[in-house]
Amino acid sequence: MPRLPQIDPATATGKAAEQLAEAQKAMGSVPNLIKVLANSPAAVKGYLALNGALAAGALPHAVRERLSILTAELNGCGYCLSAHTFIGGEFAGIDAAELAAAREGRSSDPHIEALLALTRSVVEQRGRGGEQAVAAARAAGVTDAEITEVVANVALNILTNYVNELAGTDVDFPVVAPHAH
């Protein structure tokens, strides 16, 4: 049962209505995550701004979806795991084998696997161990822009993972349950 309300775009007023309309325009629909974030219009605005900025960054959509899948898996967030598995398959063109591999921090593409290894390090070590993590990423050909954007994507995903877990957000995607960790 949800612990925070999902603000209905049809009845929202004020800044919440503005942010929900912006989300509708940017995303094509308003997922339950955004309806929960609308409890704070500033949170929706911040989420949309960082998400939009990263969409124009060095990491392609299909890579960002894989990072999101791994972060959700590591944090045990069923909402985000479900959302990014669906989005990754339907909109980013990631096949089922690669979606499953992302949950384990693997990929058939060595560069993507290096990005996933860095993601795992950032999430599990909370940014510590940077010397080793950065050296390993660079040795695999990961650029400084990509390294920086991995951290930014992890931060964005931790925001959504934690909000969804705290709020008990209803999953509005085909459900994918995190593995037991």
For 19, the domain range is 14-55
Residue range 84-109, pLDDT digits in tens: 999 999 999 999 999 999 999 999 99
In a domain, 1, yes or no: no
DSSP type of residue 10:
T
Same domain, 148 and 78: yes
4 inside domain:
no
Does residue 150 sit within a domain? yes
Is the domain of 65 the same as that of 51?
no
User: Are 95 and 42 within one domain?
Assistant: no
Q: Region 41-62: what's the mean pLDDT? A: 96
44 lies in the same domain as 131: no
Buried b (16+ CB within 10 A) or exposed e, 50-70: ebeebeeeebeebbbbbbbbb
Quick check: 110 and 62 in contact, CB under 8 A? no
DSSP 104: T
Predicted local distance difference test score (pLDDT) of residue 26: 86
- Please give the Cα distance from 6 to 148 (Å, whole number): 32
Structure tokens at 141: 């050909």
Q: Does residue 119 have a pLDDT over 80?
A: yes
Quote the pLDDT of residue 129. 84
For residue 37, the model assigns a pLDDT of 96
Do 79 and 134 belong together in one domain?
A: yes
For the record, the structure tokens of 68 come out as 């999101």
pLDDT digits (tens, 9 = 90+) for 53-77: 999 999 999 999 999 999 999 999 9
Q: What is the mean pLDDT of the chain?
A: 96
CA distances to 17, 71, 147, 178 from 74, rounded to whole Å, are: 33, 5, 19, 8
Q: Same domain, yes or no, for 49 and 65?
A: no
**pTM score, two decimals?**
0.96
* Selected residue with higher pLDDT from 28 and 114: 114
Confidence of residue 181 (pLDDT cuts 50, 70, 90): low
Together in a domain, 97 and 143: yes
Tell whether 65 and 151 lie within a shared domain.
yes
CA–CA distance, 70 with 89 (Å, rounded to integer): 15
Q: Is 124 left (phi over 0), alpha (psi -120 to 50) or beta?
A: alpha
What CATH number is given to the structural domain containing 160?
Answer: 1.20.1290.10
**Residues 65, 141: one domain?**
yes
Count of domains observed in the chain: 2
My answer on whether 49 and 109 are in the same domain is: no
| The domain boundary residue, chosen from 5, 29, 55 | 55
Same domain as 77, residue 159: yes
Asked if residue 7 belongs to a domain, the reply is no
Residue 46 sits in a domain whose CATH number is 1.20.5
Is 148 found in the same domain as 96? Answer: yes
Position 2 in a domain? no
Confidence tier at 38 by pLDDT (50, 70, 90):
very high
Mean pLDDT of 111-120: 98
